[in-house]
Amino acid sequence: MKGKEAYRSQPLTSLLTETETASLRALAKPVRVVPPQTLYHEGDPCRHAYIMEDGLLMLERLASDGRRQVLAFVYPGDFMGIDMAGKHMVSAVAIEPCRLSQVRLSDLNDLARRHPAIDTALKRVTHGILGFMLDQVCVLGRMTARQRMAFFFLHMADRQKCTGDSPEITLAMTRADIADFLGLRIETAIRTLSAMKRDGLIDSVSLNVMRIRDMDTLVDLTDLSAHAWRNADP
């Protein structure tokens, strides 16, 4: 993960013109899921793509030993559902009530053939998602529990488009979800959160809201190049 790309996500529609976005949305139909419903399961045929309009999903996968790995949290504006293997490699589980736009892949492929800019945008977003997941595995594998938790808070601050030196982060996911995202035992995740609170790096605002109190230290802990958060565009 390098430079600003370490934290900055880019919605599909931000890469399209208004006309291209309108063409895409004309193919979509609304879909809703609520916790603990699953939008699609690992291994299901891949027939639709989705744009998240509102809510929060997580993408998870089961390892061969039965352990769960949370690969990503899906926020409004995110594009998801395409898999080159023809079947879903992850399950998409609702954390909050979600509203999505669903597009049949056959319709999306036809649209992309007629509009090269849409085809380019789809490839760019899809490659970005895969790149983040690969970076997550590589980077987290070299980090201590404290560094992983710092990475998580910076990542959440970006996903929730927080600004300022002391942003407040809404954590709708459970502590177990966070632990499985970071590849930690839940006991380790809870101890690490408590230690970071005690050291003044973060604090609790309410049951599901945390405040980052020392952004510079979190950035330094992750050891990502170019101090991406501090130098990121607003």
pLDDT tens digit string along 182-231? 999 999 999 999 999 999 999 999 999 999 999 999 999 987 543 343 44
pLDDT-derived band at 10 (thresholds 50, 70, 90) equals low
The verdict on pTM exceeding 0.85 is yes
Per domain, the residue ranges of the chain are: 3-139, 143-229
In CATH, the architecture of 3-139 is Sandwich (2.60)
Q: Return contacts of 122-128, CB within 8 angstroms, 24+ apart.
A: 122/12, 122/79, 122/82, 124/10, 124/15, 125/10, 125/12, 125/15, 125/79, 126/79, 126/82, 128/9, 128/10
- 5: pLDDT strictly greater than 50: no
Domain 143-229 - what CATH class? mainly alpha
What 3-state DSSP class applies to 74? strand
Beta carbons of 91 and 42 less than 8 angstroms apart: yes
pLDDT one-digit tens code per residue, 21-54: 999 999 999 999 999 999 999 999 999 999 999 9
Rounded Cα gap, residues 164 and 226, in angstroms = 18
pLDDT in tens, 152-192: 999 999 899 888 888 999 999 999 999 999 999 999 999 99
Q: Token match 């990121």: residue?
A: 232
